[in-house]
Amino acid sequence: MTDYDYDIGIIGGGAAGLTVASGAAQLGAKTLLVEKEPALGGDCLHYGCVPSKTLIRSAHVYHQIKNAQRFGLPKVDLPPVDFSQIARRIADVIDVIQKHDSEERFCKLGARVQFGNARFKDDHAVDLDGRTVSAKTWVVATGSSPARPPIPGLEAVDTLTNRELFSLPQLPGSLIVLGGGPIGIEMAQAFNRLGAGVTVVDRADQILGKEDPDMAEAVQAVMESEGVNFYLGASVESLSEAGGRKTVALIKKEGSPISLTADAVLVAMGRAVNVDGLNLEAAGVTYERSGIVVNARLRTSQKHIYAAGDVSGGYQFTHAAGYEGGVVVSNAVFRLPRKVDYTWLPWCTYTDPELASIGMNERAAAAAGIETRIWTEAFADNDRGLAEGQTEGRIKLILDKKEKPLGVQILGPRAGDLISEWVAALNGGVKLSTLAAAIHPYPTLGEISKRVTGSVFSPKIFSETVQKGLKFFFNLKGRACTPEVCEGGSLMAEDE
Ligand SMILES: Cc1cc2nc3c(=O)[nH]c(=O)nc-3n(C[C@H](O)[C@H](O)[C@H](O)COP(=O)(O)OP(=O)(O)OC[C@H]3O[C@@H](n4cnc5c(N)ncnc54)[C@H](O)[C@@H]3O)c2cc1C
């Protein structure tokens, strides 16, 4: 039997790779984790979720102070934002989290961490900056990078991506965001709130293209009311730069050319999977432009090589990467066959209001040819939403015609947290009637979930048939007041 240096080797120290490394090492596998950057943590920690949510928080606080009068507070004249202070706060937050993802921590768990660029020599051996290491099983978890579409001028102009955005020395006066997906939209709102004049460009007619149009349009309406400009249905023709100002030439669908100029351009036009330089051909691993090809057990075309996280091109979220890492540990270390199941995978776009989803939305159900019943409840009718001054948005519960839940979307304050109740309910197969009957604390935003499930049952419970039955069995007398009485103004007279 061939003797390899390691039982399992993992390429990439982001959410997926770290999950595999920690699980495999704690289960007693001799584990190697390879990372090309000088620190572990991957995109999420250094250039993604953590810095973006920290920035969003700063922008939210600044926005709240600017709008203090809405809360009955005195008007505040705020000085402009010093972005270097926000960048420092972002770096501080990253530093704290970095400790959880340190080399020492993984060493304590039993995994060896090596920093360097990994490149396959064959299906068991990898070149690590001139050294060869071998492993019985490999996991490719190299993540993704900002996509660079072949647009004339894009490479010549000094543009920003999520790698530069969070450490800018100063706030750009104006910013063009290319791409209306979650990253572009979150950053557009945050930078606009901080004081940059922001314009979003997308070739689609709708921002947040995976979401239902009504929910995405509601997000856009809020952003427009805050001053963000949108050019949708517009394709980017070219970029150029003169005197430090950047110009983006667009063509709208109907053919009209438009030229936009700003201090900075953020490229957020999708993600490209990190396969370049891995020499996957030498390992016999098949990949496409969209990602490494994997089966439901996350095995690649080589049975002993797995791929997890963004690089496999599926759901590109940190929690999806972590989940897939766990599936790899089951299959590769435990040898318990486990398949991925994304039925109840939630996600959230952290705009204000947030837009969170789980399961199918109306668009996905229609594409699958499933007939739906839709139930909604507005935050404008939620007492806590009113108290908080956050009445924008609603919950949308999507049922099939047998009233089986297909999915839930929440557009509203803390939607990303509110969706967790649905994560538990849907994964646990909790009945809607249980959720409707469960006592929720008052006044909370979470009551909206109880209310929407309640609305599924109230037409049945308070139906004429039930009323007739109760009248018959218990001799109830029926209505004490009718709308005609109230509207006719004779209510007082009747009472007297
Ligand atoms: C701005 C932004 C905001 C985001 N916000 C959210 C959010 O709020 N919630 C959410 O769930 N997701 C969010 N994401 C997505 C999330 O960051 C990714 O889905 C997640 O990081 C994927 O994890 P991963 O392990 O697959 O890849 P990564 O975290 O990218 O890790 C891959 C690692 O592999 C290393 N690597 C690559 N090639 C090699 C090589 N040849 N040799 C050695 N090492 C290599 C890389 O350096 C990297 O550290 C956001 C992304 C961005 C860009």
Looking at residue 180, its pLDDT comes to 98
Rounded to two decimals, the pTM is: 0.96
**Helices of type H across 370-482:** 383-388, 415-427, 432-437, 447-461, 464-474
Alpha-carbon distance of 184 to 188, in angstroms, equals: 6
Looking at residue 485, its pLDDT comes to 73
- Ligand 1 pocket check for 43: Cβ under 6 Å: yes
Contact 364, 407 (CB under 8 A): yes
State the distance from the centre of ligand 1 to the C-alpha of 451, rounded, in angstroms: 37
State the distance from the centre of ligand 1 to the C-alpha of 467, rounded, in angstroms: 57
State the distance from the centre of ligand 1 to the C-alpha of 306, rounded, in angstroms: 17
Alpha-carbon distance of 129 to 450, in angstroms, equals: 56
Looking at residue 488, its pLDDT comes to 62
Q: Give the DSSP letter of residue 124.
A: S
CB atoms < 10 A from the CB of 372, how many? 15
- R_g of the chain computed on alpha carbons: 27
Alpha-carbon distance of 317 to 49, in angstroms, equals: 9
44 CA: nearest ligand 1 atom: 17
- Ligand 1 pocket check for 318: Cβ under 6 Å: yes
Backbone angles phi, psi at 383, to 5 degrees: -60, -40
The candidate with the shortest Cα–Cα distance to 152, out of 256, 242, 257, 247, is 247
Looking at residue 490, its pLDDT comes to 58
Looking at residue 253, its pLDDT comes to 83
277 CA: nearest ligand 1 atom: 41
* Bridge-based pairing state of the strands 131-140 and 125-128: antiparallel
Best of 19, 34, 43, 294 for a ligand 1 pocket test (most atoms within 8 Å of beta carbon): 43
Helix (H) or strand (E) holding 399: strand 394-400
Contact 73, 133 (CB under 8 A): no
Alpha-carbon distance of 110 to 103, in angstroms, equals: 11
What average pLDDT values come out for the chain (496 residues) when binned by 10 residues?
94 98 98 98 98 98 97 96 98 96 95 98 97 98 97 97 97 98 98 98 97 98 98 97 96 90 98 98 97 98 98 97 98 96 98 98 97 98 98 98 97 98 98 96 98 94 92 92 73 50
Looking at residue 496, its pLDDT comes to 44
Per DSSP, the three-state class of 178 is: strand
The candidate with the shortest Cα–Cα distance to 341, out of 367, 313, 315, 304, is 315
Looking at residue 492, its pLDDT comes to 55
- Ligand 1 pocket check for 139: Cβ under 6 Å: no
